[in-house]
Amino acid sequence: MAIAITASFAYQAKGQSEWPAYGRDAGGTRYSPLKQINESNVSKLKPAWTFNTGELETYKGTELISKSAFETTPLMIDETLYFTTPTCRVFAVNASTGKQVWMYDPQVNLRADYSEVTSRGVSAWPAAKGNAPTKPEIIFVPTIDGRLIALHPETGKPLIQFGVNGTVDLKAGLGRDLSVTSPPAVIGNLVVIGSSLGDNQQMKMTRGAVRAYDVHSGQLKWTWDPIPRDSLDPAWNTWQGPNAHESGAANAWSVISADPDRNLVFVPCSAPSPDYYGGERHGQNLYGNSLVALHASTGKVAWYFQVVHHDLWDYDIAAQPILAEIIKDGKKTPVVIVGTKMGHVFILHRETGKPVFPVEERPVPGSTVAGESAWPTQPFPVLPAPLGLQKVGVENAWGLNEAEWIAATERIKQFTSGGIFTPPSYGGTIITPGNVGGIHWGGMSYDPGRGLLVTNINHLAAIIRMIPRDSLEMVERQNKDLIRAETGRQAGTPYVMKRDYLFKVDTGGMKIQTAPPWGTLLAIDMKTGEKKWEVPLGFMLDPRKYPDAEKWGSLNLGGAITTAGNLTFVAASLDGHLRAFSTSTGKLLWQYMLPATAQATPMTYSIKGKQYVVIAAGGHGKLRTRMGDALMAFSVD
């Protein structure tokens, strides 16, 4: 009996030591029960090994470096790490030494025009259950050119029985512009996948279909479209106008969570096309901007919860939904936690979609754009209270000196600023939060032992202008700043969109024109819904020149993880550090300067009695950070 009990503990410990899914578990909690690295010894954490992918060398002769981002989070299963580069090359490396086991190159066309050049990782079948260890039989790789590839985990060779010679063409029947940047969900014998689509370019975009395939054959099992195409769908009448049902997108480009015990997948849907004008799609626009629970075996809707009605702000659900159990009214309650770009966190009952903490429908401003009809109310969580930047006025103007403060004040005065959910306008509306959050794709982590939800957020306002299409050239001549602003063609509508942000870039760096902090890390007590702590995350300006820079925080992309060692690990900021904070208090305990910035989410595992923390440090081309190609592991001797 003693031998059997010992073996059982060893088996469970092996499972606890792994990181078998993007969010460690299928519900995306990003929590590890490991605690060898903890508050008492994290200050001794140092590099254990570094693996260089050679990715930047592959970009020679292309312009990929200007838009690539190394955002991967590796899996660790059966003593091997599996991860992807921005161009979807797949590596397997030894988890103890960082030595390459194999590499697979899907031969993505490096000269094609991709909206995003990134890959956040791979998925494995069979999916892990609880803390039981797994031995993968298939590694699934989505690509930015719209393929799903099945690889053998020991050799990296395509499994030819899947699809056609190991590949399913995801573009077939949908559109040539379809891409995938997030790993798929795996539930039972199904692999469930969404898509990434270029924003703001036209009204009739590619359909944002979610599809399920047989893991062995690649046979399509079901398709679900977030924009109803059947008049019998209960959401049909929430799309009004002759072209409404021809809208595209509303796609799930983030990570889909899975609950095999309930036969459910949780789909985080984005904005319908185009993001900022809804005059061709009047109505509430279900299931756009909704968390939708689908029956995994059939793809039928179980329930939905819409976080934004008739989106005009690019408020996709960018973060992976977290599946957790919380204590509510003295009993365990299964919930799904939805973090949003608005800084709103919705806690929903996992089986019904009903809010566990109160949510209110509140009146919001109307639109002044001809042809538009903004929805009159929006859902606001009472608890947890909204996070981050909810409104900007001249009182929020900021600069390093009086001249910069005056410039910020005058710029803010130019635009409409009515707070969150104020629609775009002709002269320009300050959108708070902007389209990078609030809570962004980096997502959240849940520590079940402490009952704390941890997330990093951005505090950055966007400026959105709607310009009549036939006036664009004249308006740009009158305002040279508009030529440099991002342009959304919004073909099929009367307007072109121009997007800018409340910052200026000069020789001193990026200077945000609203008061800091500009990026923070925070924790919410899930027993009460109250915020427990919030601290600045990183810095954007040189602390040697500006001593208070470390109090101002940084724009950030990439998420945090938590561990049983009472530690929260996060990189994400523009200064290039990986950091460890106390999960209980938010106190900074350790930081390390990486060879390139890390706009990625870390992970942790244990092998041969040693715990490691791993982060992808490769930079972000669009943010013009330090670039690289390193996967770094850290440990305590």
Q: How many CB atoms lie within 10 A of CB 60?
A: 9
- Tell me if 166 sits within 8 A of 159, measured CB to CB: yes
What would the two tokens of residue 604 be?
């942790």
Backbone angles phi, psi at 229, to 5 degrees: -110, 0
Q: Which residue from 533, 530, 534, 536 is spatially nearest to 381, judged by alpha carbons? A: 530
> What gap in Å lies between CA 166 and CA 468, rounded to an integer?
47
Q: What are the structure tokens assigned to 549, written together?
A: 């820079």
Residues 6+ apart with CB under 8 A from 609: none
Q: CA 249: distance to chain centroid?
A: 17
336 - beta bridge partners?
Answer: 323, 348
For residue 30, with 0-12 CB atoms within 10 Å meaning exposed, 13-18 middle and 19 or more buried, which class applies?
Answer: buried
CA distance 58 to 207: 32
Token couple for 208: 């944002």
From residue 31, alpha-carbon distances to 14, 165, 585 in Å are: 16, 36, 17
> Hey, which bits of 340-376 come out as E strands?
345-349, 359-363
The torsion angle over the Cα atoms of residues 126, 131, 135 and 138, rounded to 10 degrees, is 30
Q: Whose structure tokens read 């664009």?
A: 472
Annotation says 629 is catalytic: no
Q: Concatenated DSSP letters for 412-425? A: HHTSB---TTPPPB
Which of 177, 225, 275, 314 is catalytic? The answer is 314
574 near 554, Cβ under 8 Å?
yes
24: left (phi over 0), alpha (psi -120 to 50) or beta: left
563 near 30, Cβ under 8 Å? no
Residue indicated by tokens 């689509």: 197
CA distance 497 to 469: 9
How would you list the strands of the sheet with 452-458, edge to edge? 444-447, 452-458, 519-525, 531-536
Both tokens assigned to 215: 């893991």
Task: Please give the angle made by the CA atoms of 407, 409 and 415, to the nearest 5 degrees.
Answer: 110
Cβ count near 187 (within 10 Å): 23
Helix (H), strand (E) at residue 407: helix 402-413
Single-letter code of the amino acid located at 251: N
Pairing of strands 560-563, 31-32: parallel
- Does residue 508 sit in helix, strand or coil? coil
User: Which residues are designated catalytic?
Assistant: 314
